[in-house]
């Protein structure tokens, strides 16, 4: 399978715990994006990387959130001190530099209890 893969698919955590999600983009894609999708709404942009550089962050990305893409390949999204409002689907997407479309992974569904 050469699509975008995300791990884990589901995560249940207690409020206050830290969680980390991983995204493996399509191998030749140098752009990688993170989105958050809450129930009944469309995805909201969080941040994006070009290679290893994080070029843009949404104001939705509070200081409890951090994303990395250390070698320009896979990326991680960490949420510290999780809150119930963090419960959502976290989607990763990748695209080539000249591509007109982004390819999404199946997402990580986070439930904070």
Partner 1 sequence: AQKITQTQPGMFVQEKEAVTLDCTYDTSDPSYGLFWYKQPSSGEMIFLIYQGSYDQQNATEGRYSLNFQKARKSANLVISASQLGDSAMYFCAMREGQGTNAGKSTFGDGTTLTVKP
How far apart, in whole angstroms, are the C-alpha atoms of residue 79 and residue 96?
27
Task: Based on the shown chain and the rule CB under 8 A, indicate whether residue 28 belongs to the binding site for partner 1.
Answer: no
Residue 11's CB is within 10 A of a number of other CB atoms, namely: 18
User: Which residues lie closer than 8 Å to 68 by C-beta, 6 or more apart?
Assistant: 54, 75, 76, 78
CB 32 within 8 A of CB 74: no
Among 20, 22, 24, 45, binds partner 1 (CB under 8 A): 45
Task: Based on the shown chain and the rule CB under 8 A, indicate whether residue 2 belongs to the binding site for partner 1.
Answer: no
Distance in Å, CB of 98 to partner 1, minimum: 5
What are the helix (H) ranges across 6-96?
Answer: none
Task: Based on the shown chain and the rule CB under 8 A, indicate whether residue 33 belongs to the binding site for partner 1.
Answer: yes
Among 24, 31, 66, 74, binds partner 1 (CB under 8 A): 31
DSSP at 3: S
Task: Based on the shown chain and the rule CB under 8 A, indicate whether residue 56 belongs to the binding site for partner 1.
Answer: yes
Task: Based on the shown chain and the rule CB under 8 A, indicate whether residue 27 belongs to the binding site for partner 1.
Answer: no
Task: Based on the shown chain and the rule CB under 8 A, indicate whether residue 87 belongs to the binding site for partner 1.
Answer: no
Task: Based on the shown chain and the rule CB under 8 A, indicate whether residue 109 belongs to the binding site for partner 1.
Answer: yes
Q: What angle do CA 95, 3, 1 make, to 5 degrees?
A: 155
Applying CB under 8 A, which residues contact partner 1?
Answer: 31-33, 40-45, 48, 56, 89, 91, 93-107, 109
């Amino acid at each position: 399978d050469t699509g975008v893969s995300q791990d884990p698919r589901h995560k249940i955590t207690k409020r206050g715990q830290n969680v980390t999600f991983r995204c493996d983009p399509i191998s030749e894609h140098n752009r990688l994006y993170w989105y958050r999708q809450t129930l009944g709404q469309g995805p909201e942009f969080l941040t994006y990387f070009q290679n290893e550089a994080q070029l843009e962050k949404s104001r939705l990305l509070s200081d409890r959130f951090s994303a990395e893409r250390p070698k320009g390949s896979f990326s991680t999204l960490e949420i510290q001190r999780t809150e119930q409002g963090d419960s959502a689907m976290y989607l990763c997407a990748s695209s080539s530099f000249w591509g007109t479309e982004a390819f999404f992974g199946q997402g990580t569904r986070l439930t904070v209890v």
